[in-house]
Structure 1
């Protein structure tokens, strides 16, 4: 009996200390670090269970086989000091309480100049969370979520909250909620990341003066969700086989969308997410967005090339290519918009006009959503008669009697040659995650 009581007491003590260790982060110096000089430390191979915190400037490198495991509670690693570098570490099984912001690596407010490089993270909660930080560098990390959990219940792969001057580059994120989420964060660079099997690949909210360049999204429910932000520079990105939307602009102003390639966006399930309305398969959706430059982009083989609505006006839309989309344009507004500038418009694969003077421009304007197109929206079966004499007669009557014409889009200088050949030849910067 006494022995049984002693064993029971020892087990209780063990559980108590384990619980305390998980509830209260232990300093990183509790681990068997090996000093390498110049404030550089190496963590030997082994599994280190608990929640750990770095509270002083240092350079931590993990040897192969060194693993942080949080046993399903809290943050695996918290960083509460500036000028910290963490590289080559594996982090697993951190908490999944999204309200508590459980993360694989949590950069605390006020920690500046933190660099995370070549780390591998796998868990349900947030992968990397940077909170009220400056000049953070998140480079070449791999973040993998848990596909058995609903996407709404997973954390984001990389989450920036009130962050300034960050560089997020070369990361691979898969099966988290959003790949990279940027909220109320200005002056950051999101570059050359590979984002697969997510809700949103890159998601902006209330963030200004950011650069988004060279990223790739695949099989997301929206590749690039740009919302309530201004002065974004979105250049040279790719959206491949995303569903619902390739690029979504919601209240985006004074931004540049250029040299992007969007292909094969198809209608899909929104996953029960109320933030995604419908599932129309739109390569580009522009909602309540003004004063933007949208040029030299390639939108192809999608259910809908571009949908513009809700007062989206005064945008420069020129030198783009719309190729092989089931429907090229959907425009809902009360004013006609001109989609050309300086005598140059866009390329439309379904344009049927001629170029008799060989100047590279169509002789008649391209009007993708005239009354005939509206008829096709209402009665899709009419598409069988698309090139019939009856349809051509309707278009002729519309041109001859413009009083019958509804507000829509007009491209007065449609391009006869594809302007985006260089985008077709661009190779992906990274291989898919294994």
Structure 2
């Protein structure tokens, strides 16, 4: 008798559970345009599609989770708002996406996204705002991925452990402001994308802080690119086949290369702090670029150029320059010259890096100068810095330690090499 009663009770409960799995989608379907749908605190194992202008808002701790081979949230058409919730995609397919967005004038805010692949994908999406959110991955996919998406705004985002923090392809007039991107391959990555603004972002501990590839008229303003040095190909900012870029007021600190300019023309660098990098700025097959009023302090190599000419570097501050100002106009009367001799030498024989700043190398550089067209010449180096710089003892200590290690390694090779003979 008790067993029969238990079965009857179970039969009544099962339909209720089945109906609960579709609760969120049902509420979305039933809601009128312009409605706000409040989601109660809890975990929801389902995927949802929002195709009309409604607001989906979590109250308390709301987790929307799915491991299916489709987005956890799909946003279509126009005017959708998604806010205040956690979204987790635990699928294993390489195309899996936590949130898929197309259409226009959507707003995503106060989200916490965990994904094994893509965080948010914008596909032909325009005038979308994504702000005050966090995205965490496992280095397999991009945090935010744009394809043919224009005039979008990304503000106050924290993105960690992804492939590219924010990736743009064929996407124009977007604004990336106040974002913090760490421990990824590229912090921000723009390809074939024009008229974008990158402002007040922090990109650190990545392989490359930011890359602009075949992109035009990008504004890179007041960003911080630091400690992007965990690879032999690491750099703070890479301009590759980019043109008409304005790089102003940024900080490039403790990168392998602060700014790398390759096959790029007509770009302007102004009022940047370039400090404690192995190489401050490096030109490769690049012409017609202009660097003025920048501050170079504490770099192992301030500037290098290979197969590059007609780049103007007048009016910068170089801490390695000899400074004499006879007429008091704030400019040194002694020309500052950066010679790529050592960089060219080590490119052919990498082992020669052990002899960096060795007296013999310096003597050879003075005797065997590079061709005049490959020299970077500042004919009016500044007497004073254009930006405030805090000369930290730790940075100086690191440089001294690097020098000491090179000297010890060189001596060891010399001594043990003689013993083997």
TM-score tier by shorter-chain length is 0.7 to 0.9
Partner of 1:339: 313
Helix, strand or coil: the match of 2:323? coil
Larger deviation, residues 356-365 vs 291-300: 356-365
Partner of 2:248: 258
The CA RMSD measured in Å over matched residues stands at 3.3
Structure 1 position 193 matched with structure 2 position 179: yes
> Shift of residue 192 of structure 1?
0.5
Which digits, 9 at most, give the CA deviation of each residue in 1:83-110, with x for residues without a partner?
A: 0000001111343423xx32111113xx
Helix, strand or coil: the match of 1:253? coil
Partner of 1:75: 71
Query: Is the contact between residue 34 and residue 41 of structure 1 (CA under 8 Å) also seen in structure 2?
Result: no
Partner of 2:304: 330
Structure 1 position 421 matched with structure 2 position 388: yes
- Take 2:170 and 2:390, find their aligned partners in 1: how far apart are those partners? 31
Structure 1 position 355 matched with structure 2 position 330: no
> Shift of residue 135 of structure 1?
0.4
- Specify which of 265, 275, 279 is matched with residue 300 of structure 1: 275
- Take 1:189 and 1:196, find their aligned partners in 2: how far apart are those partners? 19
Which digits, 9 at most, give the CA deviation of each residue in 1:42-90, with x for residues without a partner?
A: 0111211122111211011111122111135321111123100000011
Q: 1:333 to 1:387 in 2, by over 3 A?
A: closer
Q: 1:371 to 1:204 in 2, by over 3 A?
A: closer
> Shift of residue 407 of structure 1?
3.0
Query: Is the contact between residue 296 and residue 419 of structure 1 (CA under 8 Å) also seen in structure 2?
Result: yes
Q: 1:27 to 1:114 in 2, by over 3 A?
A: farther
1:336-415 to 2 correspondences below 5 Å: 337-340=311-314, 345-369=315-339, 379-380=352-353, 381=355, 383-385=357-359, 394=366, 405=372, 407-415=374-382
- Take 1:375 and 1:177, find their aligned partners in 2: how far apart are those partners? 33
Partner of 1:275: none
> Shift of residue 352 of structure 1?
2.0
Partner of 2:36: 40
Structure 1 position 224 matched with structure 2 position 210: yes
Query: Is the contact between residue 90 and residue 119 of structure 1 (CA under 8 Å) also seen in structure 2?
Result: yes
Larger deviation, residues 125-134 vs 36-45: 36-45
> Shift of residue 336 of structure 1?
5.6
Helix, strand or coil: the match of 2:240? strand
- Take 2:126 and 2:275, find their aligned partners in 1: how far apart are those partners? 38
Give TM-score scaled by structure 1 length.
0.77
Q: Normalized per residue, which structure has more helix?
A: 2
- Take 1:133 and 1:423, find their aligned partners in 2: how far apart are those partners? 43
Structure 1 position 102 matched with structure 2 position 96: yes
- Take 2:183 and 2:273, find their aligned partners in 1: how far apart are those partners? 22
- Take 2:44 and 2:218, find their aligned partners in 1: how far apart are those partners? 41
Helix, strand or coil: the match of 2:167? strand
- Specify which of 228, 235, 257 is matched with residue 245 of structure 1: 235
Partner of 2:86: 90
- Take 2:386 and 2:28, find their aligned partners in 1: how far apart are those partners? 59
- Take 2:356 and 2:135, find their aligned partners in 1: how far apart are those partners? 48
Larger deviation, residues 247-256 vs 64-73: 64-73
Q: 1:313 to 1:423 in 2, by over 3 A?
A: farther
Which digits, 9 at most, give the CA deviation of each residue in 1:341-380, with x for residues without a partner?
A: xxxx111111123223332111121111165886788755
Query: Is the contact between residue 376 and residue 383 of structure 1 (CA under 8 Å) also seen in structure 2?
Result: no
Query: Is the contact between residue 113 and residue 135 of structure 2 (CA under 8 Å) also seen in structure 1?
Result: yes
> Shift of residue 33 of structure 1?
10
Q: 1:121 to 1:383 in 2, by over 3 A?
A: same
Larger deviation, residues 286-295 vs 88-97: 88-97
Give TM-score scaled by structure 2 length.
0.80
Query: Is the contact between residue 165 and residue 189 of structure 1 (CA under 8 Å) also seen in structure 2?
Result: yes
- Take 1:136 and 1:336, find their aligned partners in 2: how far apart are those partners? 41
Mark the runs of 5 or more structure 1 residues left unpaired by the alignment.
Answer: 1-6, 8-13, 266-280, 425-434
Q: 1:164 to 1:299 in 2, by over 3 A?
A: same
Mark the runs of 5 or more structure 2 residues left unpaired by the alignment.
Answer: 1-6, 8-13, 392-421
